[in-house]
Amino acid sequence: MLGGTRFLTRRGPPPHYAAPAFLAREAKIGVSGGFDDAFLAEVRERNNIVSVVGDYVSLKKAGHASFKGLCPFHSEKSPSFHVHEDRQFFYCFGCQAGGDVITFVRELNGYSFVESVRHLAERAGLQMPERQTGPPGLRGPSRRPRTNKSQRDLFYEIGGVAQQFFTETLQTMEGTACREYLRHRGVDSAATERFGLGFAPDRWDGLLGRLRERQLPLDQADLLGLISRRKSGDGFYDRFRNRLTFPIRSNAGDIIAFGGRTLSTDKEVAKYVNSPDSPIYTKGDTLFGLYEARQALRKEGWGIVVEGNLDLVRLSQFGLQNVIAPMGTALTAAQCTLLKRFTSRAVLLYDGDAAGRAAAEKAVPMALAEGLAVAVAVLPDGEDPDSFVGTHGPDALRALIARAVPGFEHLVLHCILPRLGEVRGARAALTAAQEVAPTLELVRDPAERHLYQRQLAEILGLDEGELVRLLKASPRRRSRVDATNPTTPVARQPVAPPRTPPPSTELDLLKLMMLAPESCALYTAHDVEALVTHQGVREAADKLVERWEADGAIEIASYVSSLEDTSLKETLFKSLASAPPMGGDWMAPFEQLEMRLKREAFQRRLFVLKQDERRASLAGDELGAMRVLMERQKIQRQLEALRATRG
């Protein structure tokens, strides 16, 4: 009954003849990443979802205006991924992923909302407008200076030229020693090519000469940290010299920075040199290997975090493609958030030395605070992932990873309790509780926090209630996460409780209003809102009416994607994905749904009155009970009269 519609449902002429939305009304700033709603509408209209998805997924016709293929978000043998051209959204019946074209690009590539819009705008040849920013003090998606498209493209071009120079030089006579080093470390040609490894020659003007040859601005290359200005101020020189180079890519695959490992035996030379932060790169916001690992992360459902770039390259040779590495620093909150775009679970595989153990101890609270489920795989003393897999083989490494200890348990057993030494009993429990309390406070999900409390109580041999009292009594200290991470907010936002699913009648009404927006007028005129009990449906319906009254159009995919109730959003996408075409007669279905809502309202009222009557009788209030009975009989007659009409 509540089936298909066109992507853009409008009053009057069909969409083909309708004027663009930005000509029909004034610009209006919504909550969509600070972009003008009209611009987002144009981005969606200029990027047909079938065409965009078809760039990544082999689609086959599966109906009048729908296509299906293998889902790019999870591994499957039979296609359950559907794309609806008329409504411009996708939905997978296997993993429940769904959304509009912006959502697809964001989820597939791990982009932010802004990056997704930029990608689609450039794909359609649209100029990105200036975004509206929120109030001062709000934590934004990036701390980098804003760059416009021409600047950004120039930076990417410079990075691409540097990458080409380094990879070409690796294959020359100058690169012989570097190739020998890679061979000695067990890095094969396939891995070298996959990760774009290169060689910066031991010259002051190697890359500099290539940049001049290409007539690229040296000041911009200096900003990227590829070359440095001489102290005299007269000219530049190469920053990377005699180094194995690792290109660092954005989520879109563009070269944004480099890491360099020296081949010199001179102990005075820094072992590693990395690009400094720049207008297109922030070290603490980036993960090495993420671009190459993004598909494997989704397919496997978890990731492996290692410390070194070469560890990552070596593991990939043994079939472990879901590996990423922080940029030579401790894992940051921004990196955890970035990783969560692709997977919610990770194993920390750090070096088996004191530094590696200390890094894991810092990383676990950071990951838990960002909602990333982590476990810790403990390597033998003196081993790193590269040496371990080289000595013991990939099967032994997989077995080690399979035995990884949940992060919170590792923190208590391997980090906190060993520091207590000979201290035992209540004193040890109190000290451990004081150590763990700041980490527990950072866990946002109450259910997850309770699970960790129960786990800690078992480890310490305490009753859970006793542990809770200890935690409450322990002095509140600033956590390691806050101390080392300046971007951690002072106060965490509470996690919104999960919302209950909407009643079927109310869900059907909302679907009908989406598919036949003319019914919004009846919804308002008949005050149907008063009959809706589910908060999410009521808010969604109000938003729908506002859009219809303002635009005279409903863009189904963008409207559903904009809903804040994630449970309702998923339910609507799933329901719309399987809904047949409705046809032109929406009045009768609307009236039937309105009648059902009225009957349900009468039934709820009767239930309440029955309870009131029982309470009055138990209290000996005969007069009160009689009044309630009379009202109940009146409501019953109204319900019977309603049943005798239609529906």
| pLDDT of 16 | 31
Distance of alpha carbon 639 from alpha carbon 637, whole angstroms: 5
> Do 280 and 147 contact (CB within 8 A), yes or no?
yes
- pLDDT one-digit tens code per residue, 241-265: 999 999 999 888 899 999 999 999 9
- CATH of residue 31's domain is 3.90.580.10
Distance of alpha carbon 385 from alpha carbon 352, whole angstroms: 9
> Do 22 and 39 contact (CB within 8 A), yes or no?
yes
Cα–chain center distance at 20: 31
| pLDDT of 558 | 79
Q: Are strands 243-249 and 198-200 parallel, antiparallel or unpaired?
A: antiparallel
Q: Does any domain span residue 382?
A: no
- pLDDT one-digit tens code per residue, 263-289: 999 989 999 999 999 999 999 999 999
| pLDDT of 531 above 80 | yes
Between these two residues, 310 and 599, which has the higher pLDDT value?
310
Mean pLDDT value across residues 220-232? 94
344 phi/psi in degrees, rounded to 5: -100, 0
Same domain, 107 and 153: no
Distance of alpha carbon 261 from alpha carbon 284, whole angstroms: 19
Between these two residues, 20 and 430, which has the higher pLDDT value?
430
Mean pLDDT value across residues 118-125? 88
Same domain, 183 and 66: no
As a whole number, the mean pLDDT across the chain is 81
Q: Does any domain span residue 370?
A: no
pLDDT confidence bin for 584, thresholds 50/70/90: low
Domain tally, the chain: 4
Closest CA to 89 of 551, 621, 570, 531: 570
Q: What is the CB neighbour count within 10 angstroms for residue 69?
A: 20
| pLDDT of 646 | 57
Q: pTM to 2 decimals?
A: 0.65
Q: Does any domain span residue 633?
A: yes
Q: Does any domain span residue 403?
A: no
| pLDDT of 492 | 37
Same domain, 39 and 169: no
Quote the percentage of the chain above a pLDDT of 90: 32
Same domain, 95 and 207: no
Distance of alpha carbon 173 from alpha carbon 167, whole angstroms: 13
Same domain, 466 and 513: no
- CATH of residue 237's domain is 3.90.980.10
| pLDDT of 120 | 92
Same domain, 79 and 177: no
Edge-first strand order for the sheet with 272-274 is 198-200, 243-249, 255-262, 272-274
Sign of torsion over alpha carbons 561, 566, 570, 576: negative
| pLDDT of 138 above 50 | no
Q: Does any domain span residue 443?
A: yes
Same domain, 474 and 519: no
> Which of 279, 294, 325 finishes a domain?
279
| pLDDT of 31 | 40
> Do 299 and 77 contact (CB within 8 A), yes or no?
no
| pLDDT of 203 | 95
Residue type, 2: L
Closest CA to 166 of 157, 179, 175: 175
Closest CA to 524 of 609, 446, 594, 585: 594
Residue type, 407: G
Range(s) of the domain holding residue 67: 8-124
Same domain, 549 and 584: yes
- pLDDT one-digit tens code per residue, 305-361: 999 999 999 999 999 999 999 987 789 999 998 898 888 899 999 988 888 888 888
| Distances from the Cα of 301 to the Cα of 201, 277, 340, 342, angstroms | 40, 31, 11, 8
Same domain, 113 and 239: no
Q: What is the CB neighbour count within 10 angstroms for residue 40?
A: 24
Same domain, 619 and 516: yes
- Judged by average pLDDT, the poorest of 222-236, 374-388, 585-599 is 585-599
| pLDDT of 219 | 95
Q: Does any domain span residue 93?
A: yes
The conformation of residue 415, written as its DSSP 8-state character, comes to: I
Same domain, 199 and 162: yes
The conformation of residue 17, written as its DSSP 8-state character, comes to: G
Helices (H), 15-124: 21-24, 37-46, 49-54, 101-109, 113-124
- pLDDT one-digit tens code per residue, 485-521: 433 333 333 434 446 788 888 888 888 888 888 888 8
| pLDDT of 25 above 80 | no
| pLDDT of 168 | 97
- pLDDT one-digit tens code per residue, 202-213: 999 999 999 999
| pLDDT of 290 | 93
- pLDDT one-digit tens code per residue, 403-438: 999 888 888 777 777 766 544 556 666 777 777 777
Q: Which segments within 398-477 are labelled E, that is strand?
A: 405-406
| pLDDT of 244 | 98
**Best-predicted range by mean pLDDT (117-131, 335-349, 415-429, 578-592):** 335-349
Between these two residues, 15 and 64, which has the higher pLDDT value?
64
User: 84 forms bridges with which residues in the sheet?
Assistant: 66, 89
CB neighbour burial string for 502-511, b if at least 16 within 10 angstroms, e if fewer: bbebbbbbbb
| pLDDT of 429 | 67
Q: Does any domain span residue 172?
A: yes
- Which SS3 state, helix, strand or coil, does residue 643 take? helix
Q: Does any domain span residue 557?
A: yes
Same domain, 477 and 508: no
